[in-house]
Amino acid sequence: MATKAMNLCNVCCLLFYVITAVLAGRDFYQILGVTKSASIRDIKKAYRKLALQLHPDRNQDDPKAPDKFADLGAAYEVLSDEEKRKQYDAYGEDGLKEGHHSSHNDIFSSFFGDFGFMFGGNRQQQDRNIPRGNDIILDLEVMLEEVYSGNFVEVVRNKPIAKEAPGKRKCNCRQEMRTTQLGPGRFQMTQEMVCDECPNVKLVNEERTLEVEIEQGVRDEMEYPFIGEGEPHIDGEPGDLRFRIKVLKHPVFERRGDDLYTNVTISLVEALIGFEMDIEHLDGHKVHIVRDKITKPGARMWKKGEGLPNFDNINIRGSLIITFDVDFPQTQLNEQQKDGIRSLLKQGSVQKVYNGLQGY
């Protein structure tokens, strides 16, 4: 008797749980894989990574792929909008007001461009016969801070789009030679422009926002393409827009691969008796340095893990290499000070003469 009652209770509880889980709507934070306190940049980064993985074209054997992809789009649409996110945090998915729902296509193409996404195969190979508009390459200047922490750049693309217009137009125009006979044995060669007839198009300027990600560890000259966002072609397809990364020089750090190099000038006193200091890194965190031995000019200190994240695996970091140089006192020493130094340091005269330029 008791077990039957308990079973019923269990079933009721389970049913209740399932109903609330369903009614509560989707967990957008879980879909994107971010915490509730994630910044807008974290959300964009998570979307961009998952969108590539979950696109239905890439998961053709998974029947749930279109749903997963739609969930991803809905999650990004809500969490990337300040207003909608607030409403969602307070009331769940049901609490969202019926507003304008941008199609997932719009969201996806603002990160990657138009024309769907050709996974794997090169675009050029597939469209050999269709004429293509010009590609646009934009040099995007990037700071070392952005290479370290990543960032998103919003751009507004204003481009001409071919729209249907009434009437016909001349297309495929070419010069042809025409021969006309003026009389017996007399000919005249003239150049004539000959055109075909095509449906009329007009170019109308339209605008949209694109999101370019500066990924952590990105290297100079790497490109981020946006398919179809280049110049239009009246008789064919538009070209692509490519952002080419140009990493700017930094006043404090020099990049070599994933390693960072920097220089520190210390006083002669600090070089001899030791010192303690902090170096502010690219994201503001402090690198603590302690030295209790003598530091020679040109001495180097390696700080593992304090370099840049590796582009292919951001869990691997390079090192920070610090080179010290010594600032000698400006004022000359008097005789008393010279005697003092002689007795303090107890270093005899060295005066070794040698060829320093050939590595002896």
Question: Cβ closer to other proteins: 52 or 234?
Answer: 234
DSSP class of residue 307? S
The least distance separating other proteins from the CB of residue 131, rounded to whole angstroms, comes to: 12
The least distance separating other proteins from the CB of residue 280, rounded to whole angstroms, comes to: 10
Question: Cβ closer to other proteins: 115 or 275?
Answer: 115
Q: What tokens were used for 120?
A: 């794997």
The least distance separating other proteins from the CB of residue 223, rounded to whole angstroms, comes to: 14
Q: What is the 3-state secondary structure (H, E, C) of 193-205?
A: EEEEEEEEEEEEE
The least distance separating other proteins from the CB of residue 207, rounded to whole angstroms, comes to: 9
| Ramachandran sector of residue 252 (left: φ over 0; alpha: ψ -120 to 50; beta: rest) | alpha
The least distance separating other proteins from the CB of residue 272, rounded to whole angstroms, comes to: 35
Question: Cβ closer to other proteins: 234 or 299?
Answer: 234
The least distance separating other proteins from the CB of residue 14, rounded to whole angstroms, comes to: 36
The least distance separating other proteins from the CB of residue 243, rounded to whole angstroms, comes to: 9
Question: Cβ closer to other proteins: 73 or 230?
Answer: 230
Rounded to the nearest 10 degrees, the angle between the axes of helix 104-112 and helix 65-79 is 80
Question: Cβ closer to other proteins: 147 or 266?
Answer: 147
Question: Cβ closer to other proteins: 285 or 342?
Answer: 285
CB–CB of 254/183 below 8 Å?
A: no
Positions in the binding site for other proteins (CB under 8 A): 37, 39, 41, 133-141, 143, 145-146, 148-160, 203, 205, 210, 230-234, 239, 241, 248, 282-285
Question: Cβ closer to other proteins: 151 or 295?
Answer: 151
Rounded to the nearest 10 degrees, the angle between the axes of helix 65-79 and helix 40-54 is 170
The least distance separating other proteins from the CB of residue 201, rounded to whole angstroms, comes to: 11
Question: Cβ closer to other proteins: 150 or 318?
Answer: 150
The least distance separating other proteins from the CB of residue 192, rounded to whole angstroms, comes to: 16
Question: Cβ closer to other proteins: 144 or 266?
Answer: 144
